[in-house]
Structure 1
Amino acid sequence: MSIEKKEFEYEKNKLEDTEKWIDGQISTIEKDNEEFENKIGVLKKQSKGKYSEELEITEKLYNITHKSLQRYNEAKIVPYFSRIDFREKRSTEIESYYIGKFGLGDSKNGEEKIIDWRAPIADLYYSGTAGKVSYRVSSGYVDGELYLKRKFIVEDKKLKDAFDEGINEIILRSDDNEENNLVDEFLKINLEKNVSSKLKDVVATIQKEQNDIIRSEKNSALVVQGSAGSGKTTIALHRLAYLLYKYNKSLSGKDVLVVAPNKLFLDYISDVLPSLGANTVKQETFEDIARKVLGVKSRVYTKDKKLAYIFEDKKDEEKKLVVKASEFKGSLLFKSMIDEYLKNIEEKDCDVDDIKISGYVLFEKAEIKRLFVEDMKHLPIDNRKEEIKKYFNLKLKDKVKSILDKVSFRYEYNIARLKRNMIDGAERRKQLIKIYDERDSEKNYIVKNVKNVMDEYFENWKHTDTGVILDRFFNDQSIYDEIVNDKVTKKLWSYMKKDFNKNREKKTIDSDDLAAMLYIKFNIEGNDKFNFKHIIIDEAQDYSVFQFAALKNLCSSSSFTIVGDLGQGIYYYKGINDWNTLKNNVFKDNFNYTALSQSYRSTVEIIKFANKVLKKQNINLEPAKPVLRHGDSPKVIEFMANKEFAEKVDSIVEKLDKLGKRNIAIIGKTYDECKKINDTLRKYSKNQWKLIRENDKSFEVSKIIIPSYITKGLEFDCSILYNCNEENYKDTELDKKILYVALTRALHYEYIFFKGKKSKLIK
């Protein structure tokens, strides 16, 4: 049954009261903040640059109140988005809880006015249904009964709409005009909003299947296979915000790494974490984090540039070698070769000498070898050497004393013999003084130089940098004969060797070499500077199994959130084609998998059209299931000339402008194609278009021209695909995947242009 108007009025008044309360809290906090600020100024003058415990405490209090002030100011806009009514099992009282993006409490009495969406009881909003329910807390479960789940739409600090789950009706619009009442779902209202230039938080519309993923435990590798538009990126970021909230005593933003496909995507997601209170999370591309870990400044030949080359270059034979090389460098075969190579390095490092000084043995090679091969085998190679050196330094004082005793004993023997064989007199005294001087000189030499001997020994035992080690792998014939041999064709090996050396001369690193370089570095030198407790990897299907093996070394606890879509694996030749590959070869038993097939991005018609292309791929994936949001079917439009294309695009823009849809992307297959589109539209279009380049770090969504492979993860009100003809989109696995990516970017409208014969993929 419908909720009466008085319910809407109650919620309207409740929101107004809450906003007044927030204003009061802000006023109180601002006064506290001002007092702390003034006190800090006074204490700084008094301390005169010296340490002051009172100053340190006051600064901490100021930082706390400052963050609190930011939270309350943001909450002013939309204090909460839902209400649940819940009665605990042993209680007779039904309590109402209002849930918002941030938990807010009264600064005077500590009463919690608004519940944080990540709090245990908030789970009932996302996963509970009316009737008997329970939610999990640290000590177990709280049982009870859920009586109400109410959702609010707040705009401009006013309650616009509200409805109760199960009724699916808007309560009453605030204009009191019943003819304008909407009968629609809360989710559908949010999905029909226009795109912005940045990904936004979705705390109000998280669905049950998404909530289950967000609240999963952290100490495993969680893999989420999500179809296009399933919200997997958003889920991953909200999961991170949840983990930071739940494990706030052991996990902070600085302990987390987000790995994204490109800098444009990083900019697109950059607002989500700060808006959820996670400001200090490190967000990088794989190439950039690899360069930082390796400590190199060389340019990187990125995967996107390589893909563009594969798309555009006409030399089929060389293109095949590029693809084969990329496939090999991401493979388990290459990793096994590097493992064998590292084993060879380890064995050669066992061929050590005694550490000696003045002919005396400080430490025997047998002991060094035992420590290196057995006792410290769990450590990276160079770390073992450092630990052996530390261990020996602890024993050095006793070792030196023992050697000095031996020196003394040898000279005492010589002195005794001299005394026996010579009569006391001036000559004997002269000889004795000489022996004493030689003894003291030798002992002094040992004492003064023993540290240098140790340092020199261990310095000579260290390795050169990672790049040089990989250089030897490709260029040392003995390594090829021993490790590679017939496992790789001579033609492919010759190409990889030539390409590696060419890049070295240009001071460039192929992105496909980074996994091996990281892996070698971790095994030789270890990883002290970059050690994360949780890593999120987006578009994970585009990473090779070797890249995952390398990234695993950056995480101290094997705690990962891995999201991707095999259907969008445009780097299929080196990426993941089956998530079990990660389970079997990287994470083993510490692995959990879940799939999301519900798509929230596009209309039913757009998703059905894209699914036709997905079904043609050589993978066994369940097609995306659309939310019941209908719209226009995608339009397939033929054009004959550039001018005609521009005119038809202008007509589409005009139509969309009237509908309030202004975020439009023309998607070209390649960057070269996008440049041609840009030239055409500059010449014939009435509208201004921005060409997105491969290395752009940001963009404002309006009217853009963008290469297909950069669009992954992005979304637009309308997408216009350029020239989907037989020549441009062939019946190949790569073209099927890139077309599927392009066809799943639009929220509301989609147009597919072609010139000549239409591609078989869209027939």
Structure 2
Amino acid sequence: MPADPTAVARESPGEADADQSDLADDRAQDRAQDRAQDRAGDGGEAEVLAAERAYLSEARAALRRMREHARSLSADVAADWVSRQYLESLLDQRVAALADRPDTPLFFGRMDACEGRGDDLPATIYVGRRHVHDGDEGRPLVLDWRAPVARAFYRAGPADPMGWRRRRRFGFQGGELTAYEDEPLDGRALGPSAILTREIERPRTGPMRDIVATIQPDQDEIVRADLPATVCVQGAPGTGKTAVGLHRAAYLLFAHRKRLGRSGVLIVGPNRAFLAYISAVLPALGEIHVEQATVDDLLGAPTADEPADVAALKGDARMAEVLRRALWRQVRKPEEGLVYTRGASRFRLPDYEVREIAASLRGTARYANGRAAFAQRLAHRILVLMEQRGEAPDDRVQDQVARSRPVKRLVDQVWPKVTAEQVLHRLLSDADLLRAAAKGLLSEDEQAALLWAKPYRSHRSAKWTAADRALLDELNDLIERTPTFGHLVVDEAQDLSAMQLRALGRRCAGGSATVLGDLAQGTTAWSASSWEEVLRHLGRDGQVAELTLGFRVPGPVLDYAARLLPHIAPGLAAPRSLRAGAGALTVRRAPDLAEAVVAQARRSLDREGSVGLIAPDGMAADLAGALAAAGVPHGLLGPDADQAHRLLVVPATLAKGLEYDHVIVAEPARIAAAEPRGLARLYVALTRAVTSLTVLHREPLPAELGGVPSA
């Protein structure tokens, strides 16, 4: 949060809710003098609020006119049917983007310039989620938060006011403006912002919200990093790293619309539940054409499981070279030459010349391109022989030769057409091929671990694991080039193997990336130990930024979870929270766990906001059954589950990236014991709470949590 905001919310009676009114009342006496100074040039509080509401009405009227103008435009000016369809689509998108959502503030901030600043910028600007201008004069009424001049709303401060004298924040209830507060940029420190604090702490249900009104200076620096830069964000729980990554995508689409409109932006999340949770953020910012996918969506869903140690070995970066060698061993040494007949003439290429052509191409291009080039090189040598005999063949003749039966037969013998599945099936089934491909890279024990104990009859019947899918993607790229995006946002990147990271790196080979995660939340067998390692496997040079100041998770909750850090990520600094959160943490032993969960769920539902019951995967269905038997409305979170319920039962393995106002963690010892990196999984579960965390346990708590606070 800013170090020096004023924190007095100015409201009209009865129009802001009680909590916001209490925040203002608590600080009113201490700041009466400062408030009087701030409003001296504007008139009384009621007059200022009335003027701001009038401006809001004017801006909404202008937005309606903009939308009506967009509706009046016709695509009939297009020269042909295809162009007309394209133009109609663009106009429809423009009309949709100009919709005024009645429950969403049109602007959330205002900046007033210093006198005599000496530039062409307006003396006052309003900052919102979209640009709004006066249709008649073209006068900007609201500036898009991504515009360069709007940067001052997030960055200006007493040390560098950037030419502005005051920042004004607005409080809204629904779409109605109910309050405002001023922050002088002259160095006066008047305490934390009531409106900013309330917006950050506001209870939530449903999908994740945007944070355009609350972006902090260190977050804004990441958001506005230029397109060529790859940025890696190490973010402790509650620091807003996911929101920062999404807002960077929105910013880049605004700043580089033409380029990214062609090449696209891809968001990669850990699971479908996570993507559903973040799905509303970019559309709320006006960006609706952004692809979202999980790693399984990109590489293919696994159809089999395997031991964690084998999965970790397959995810090792050394496998890239093993696969490359295995693929190029499919190219065989020519055993005969080529004879091509044209009319009464026969043209011969000796076997040694065929070997030289194959050797010159082997490994210099992708496998499929090399195969095509091999056929063309053979055909070209035949054309040279034709010319030597006095003929004058052209390119069409070369293509005919390349497609002829003798050439195709020889190419199939020397450079057979293969699929990734065929190559990987052979590699994991054939000890000799694996030994040759892994020589000097993998030990004999590692090779033995990779070989299938019971090989599948063919690649068509094989069952592929998640690690296998990354190997297949590597092979597919060695055979044919993978399509790329202009920008890639990868969340929870610490959980990806080296081979999965290579797969994602290929998808932004010509662009850049935003890499998000927390090393302390690594829960897979191949979790990364450093961000430099992650960037290396992505094939990107990038800067690493660290967010350690939490805005969402209360201090007692974060401190309690941080007891696990020395055991799961000893190199990381303990995160800090800006929220005192008195009474936010309760740890209680429960002889009857199901009964305690039901009772606590009822108490949590009596409070405002969403509720998440995080349980060991093996207990989630049983606890959901106990809630159902007790008549407590809820949902059970799954990959494609509806997240609209206020109370969701969340299997621990799906909790990453989600957050709830009130969290109940059931039986933490079982979460910790369920997998090799179970303590990291528990750390994730304990840090999902925005307002309160209740830990219920029947079994003893993990020793790593230390002493237990009193209930």
Normalised by the length of structure 1, the TM-score is: 0.77
Work out which of the residue numbers 225, 242, 256 in structure 2 matches 1:247: 256
Matched, 1:10 2:48: yes
- Aligned counterpart, 2:240: 231
Change over 3 Å in CA distance of 1:11–1:60 after alignment to 2: farther
Offset of 1:335 from its aligned partner? 2.6
**2:143 matches 1:97:** no
- State the shift of 1:201 in Å: 0.9
What is the rounded CA distance, in whole Å, between the counterparts of 2:626 and 2:461 in structure 1? 35
Q: What 5-or-longer segments of structure 1 have no aligned partner?
A: 44-51, 135-144, 169-181, 292-298, 307-320, 409-444
Q: CA offsets per residue over residues 353-395 of structure 1, 9 Å max, x none?
A: 65430284477777776776657965312113334556777x5
Matched, 1:674 2:629: no
Match for residue 721 of structure 1?
A: 665
Q: Secondary structure at the match of 1:300?
A: coil
2:98 is matched with 72
CA distance in 1, matches of 2:697, 2:369: 60
Q: In the TM superposition, what is the alpha-carbon distance from 1:59 to its structure 2 partner?
A: 5.4
Taking every aligned residue pair, what percent have the same amino acid on both sides?
Answer: 20
Q: Give 1:112 deviation, angstroms.
A: 2.0
**Structure 2 equivalent of residue 435 of structure 1:** none
Which of residues 747, 751, 754 is equivalent to 2:694?
Answer: 751
Question: 2:431 and 2:700 mapped to 1: Cα distance?
Answer: 51
Distance 1:447 1:247 in 2: 42
Deviation of 1:94 after TM superposition, in Å, equals: 6.3
Residue identity matched to 2:125? Y
Report the equivalent of 1:171: none
Equivalent in 656, 665, 683 of residue 712 of structure 1: 656
* 2: CA distance, partners of 1:93 / 1:553: 42
**Cross-structure match for 1:621:** 572
Contact 1:268–1:698 (Cα < 8 Å) also in 2: no
Which secondary structure does the structure 1 equivalent of 2:572 belong to?
A: coil
Residue 281 (str. 1) matches residue 287 (str. 2): no
| Structure 1 match to 2:512 | 559
Aligned residues of 1:360 and 1:403 also touching (Cα < 8 A):
no
* Counterpart for residue 465 of structure 1: 419
Correspondence list, 1:347-496, <5 A: 348=331, 351=334, 354-358=337-341, 360-361=346-347, 379-387=365-373, 389=375, 399=384, 402=387, 405=390, 451-453=403-405, 454-458=407-411, 461-484=415-438, 487-490=442-445, 493-494=448-449, 496=451
Contact 1:368 1:388 in 2 (8 A): no
**Runs of 5+ consecutive residues of structure 2 not aligned to the other structure:** 1-33, 707-711
With over 3 angstroms needed to count, the CA separation of the structure-2 counterparts of 1:399 and 1:183, relative to structure 1, is: closer
CA contact (8 A) 2:169 2:195 kept: yes
Distance across 2 between alignment mates of 1:351 and 1:526? 27
Structure 1 stretch displaced more, 750-759 or 538-547 = 750-759
**How many residues of Structure 1 are paired with residues of Structure 2 in the alignment?**
653
1:240 CA drift (Å): 0.4
The answer to which of 67-76 and 54-63 deviates more is 54-63
Paired residues of 2:73 and 2:91 also in contact (CA < 8 A): no
Equivalent in 127, 131, 138 of residue 155 of structure 2: 127
Instruction: Give the aligned partner of residue 688 of structure 1.
Output: 633
Task: Tell which deviates more after alignment, 358-367 or 101-110.
Answer: 358-367
Contact 2:315 2:526 in 1 (8 A): yes
Which residue of structure 2 lines up, in the alignment, with residue 514 of structure 1? Answer: 469
Amino acid at match of 1:681: L
Question: Which residue in the other structure is 1:269 paired with?
Answer: 278
Matched, 1:526 2:481: yes
**Residue pair 1:75, 1:101 contacting (<8 A) in 2 also:** no
Distance 2:377 2:240 in 1: 52
Compare 114-123 and 377-386 and name the one that shifted more: 377-386
Residue aligned with 1:750, SS = strand
Instruction: Give the AA of the match of 1:533.
Output: G
In the TM superposition, residue 91 of structure 1 has moved relative to its aligned partner by 3.7
Select the structure of larger CA radius of gyration.
1
Is 1:333 the counterpart of 2:287 in the alignment?
Answer: no
CA distance in 1, matches of 2:446, 2:81: 68
Write out per-residue CA displacement over residues 589-640 of structure 1, whole angstroms, 9 at most, x where no aligned residue: x221111111122111111111112233243111111123423141111111
Task: Name which of 205, 217, 222 aligns with 2:226.
Answer: 217
SS at match of 1:98: strand
Asked whether the equivalents of residues 188 and 629 of structure 1 are also in contact (C-alpha less than 8 Å), the reply is no
**For 1:362 and 1:74, how far apart are their aligned partners in 2?**
75
Matching residue of 2:607: 659
Q: After TM superposition, give the deviation of residue 565 of structure 1 in Å.
A: 0.5
Contact between 2:158 and 2:185, CA under 8 Å: does it hold in 1? no
- Tell me what 1:582 maps to: 534
Query: In proportion to residue count, which structure has more helix?
Result: 1
Match of 1:639 among 590, 599, 611: 590
* Distance in 2 separating the partners of 1:502 and 1:608: 54
State TM-score, norm by structure 2.
0.82
Please say if residues 518 and 550 of structure 1, whose CA atoms lie closer than 8 Å, have aligned partners that are also in contact: yes
C-alpha distance in 2, partners of 1:398/1:211? Answer: 62
Matched residue SS, 2:694:
strand
Tell me whether 648-657 or 549-558 shows the greater mean CA deviation: 648-657
Q: What secondary structure is seen at the aligned counterpart in 2 of 1:81? A: strand
Deviations 1:405-435 (A, max 9, x none): 4799xxxxxxxxxxxxxxxxxxxxxxxxxxx
Query: Partners in 1 of 2:137 and 2:356 — Cα distance?
Result: 64
| Contact residue 730 and residue 760 of structure 1 kept, 8 A | no
One-letter amino acid matched to 2:473 = L
For residue 111 of structure 2, what is the aligned residue in structure 1? 84
Number of the residue aligned with 1:412: none
Aligned-partner residue type, residue 742 of structure 1: A
> 2:526 and 2:685 mapped to 1: Cα distance?
20
